[in-house]
Amino acid sequence: MLAGCVRVDVHGTPPPPEPQMPETPPLRVATYNVSLYDEDAGGLVQRLQLGNAQARRIAAVLQKVRPDIVLLNEFDFDSEGRAADLFQRRYLERPQSGGGDALHYPYRYLAPVNTGEPSGLDLDNSGRVGGDGRERGNDAWGYGLHPGQYGMLLLSRYPIDTAAARTFRLLKWSAMPGARRPVDPATGAPFHPDAIWNQLRLSSKSHWDVPVETPLGPLHVLASHPTPPTFDGPENRNGLRNHDEIRLWREYLSPDDTPWLCDDAGTCGGLAADARFVILGDLNNDPTDGAGEHEAIVELLEHPRVLRHATPRSEGAALAAAEDGGENGRHRGSHAHDTGRFGARVGNLRLDYALPSTGFALVGSGVFWPTPGDPDAELAAASDHHLVWVDLQR
């Protein structure tokens, strides 16, 4: 009876270990400026319907890297989500040449952006309101030739809590304490009259806080795409706006009371102190090189709630810079950290960021920038930016 109910180790060897529960695999989170925009309203939808080589290459990159969550910058917004549907069904869910297996994202988030939305105001101080082409774009709340141009699209393998998402598209620039108001250096007077300044929106596209339920627990995706700090005049209005668009995230993460920081639904205040997050987007600011107020991005990178970690890098970025002659010594940062290639005049820059919060462990990262001659280099050339990814674990 005893032998039938008790295990006896007659050889003195230790019993086999108890079965171990499989460890939760890392969560791969990415940002990618895909340059899938069109100068005409509905143009991206038409291109995707007809079959678009650029979209196929973008999809192939995503199929190779296979992020669990990815923010796509410069993906034109349409209110019916037709472009997002087409990109999912006809490109991501079909194996692409040079890519990998079909890729399905059951969840997505998209919302209106300020780009191309007419303001009815003379925002560029030209003496005219609206007009054609670039003049019309300059007087939109965010530069764009039609509403939704250069929009954002968030794709996820895991459920998105859409009802809890917060957007800050309508937040006034002047609401930010210490806002960097542009000044005409020739006169010392504000570039925008008070009547215009008090209506200006801070976000050139939008700022999103989108909660995602992941195997690692709730994750707040903080998504944005600040204006390039160029295409303005001596008043530096775009450079200053870029600074404050980046600063918005610093304020959102800070423990101080922020009653001015109100979302589009009227709820005010920042992110809970115990919330975990990842900041994603083309922030259009390099820590050391190119145009812009560099302290904006440096202070975000050094925020106490942002995880200190090795910078994502690629050998392809370093070799591309060497091909360009190292940009004649003008580049001060590490070329291996660059995420985009912008021609001889601007050079290569680090503009795209995936910044996880403390509370995560970084177990991997990279920039999808294949080396010259690599078969994947043609895929990566579909955009002037390169996908940046981080692998997170608890």
Query: Does residue 275 fall inside a structural domain?
Result: yes
Within-domain flag for 309: yes
DSSP code, position 44: H
The reply to whether 143 falls in a domain is no
For residue 386, pLDDT beyond 90:
yes
DSSP type of residue 21: P
Residue 142 inside a domain? The answer is no
Report the CATH number that the domain containing residue 45 is assigned in CATH: 3.60.10.10
Rounded distance, CA 281 to CA 302, Å?
A: 17
Q: How many domains does the chain have?
A: 1
Q: What is the DSSP letter of 58?
A: H
Q: Which residues pair with 208 in a beta bridge?
A: 167, 223
Over 90: is that where the pLDDT of 18 sits? no
- Return the percent helix, strand and coil in the chain, to nearest 5: 25, 20, 55
Q: Residue 21 pLDDT > 80, yes or no?
A: no
Count of residues making up the chain = 394
Query: Tokens at residue 331, please?
Result: 């580049």
pLDDT tens digits along 244-300: 999 999 999 998 889 999 999 999 999 999 999 999 999 999 999 999 999 999 999
> Is pTM beyond 0.85 here?
yes
Query: Does any domain span residue 17?
Result: no
Instruction: Note whether residue 136 is domain-resident.
Output: no
Q: Which residue segment(s) compose the domain that 230 sits in?
A: 24-113+148-393
- Coil/strand/helix, residue 264: coil
Is 127 contained in some domain? no
Residue type, 329: G
34, containing H or E segment: strand 27-36
Q: Are 114 and 204 in contact (CB under 8 A)?
A: yes
In-domain check, residue 167: yes
Residue 322, pLDDT > 90, answer no
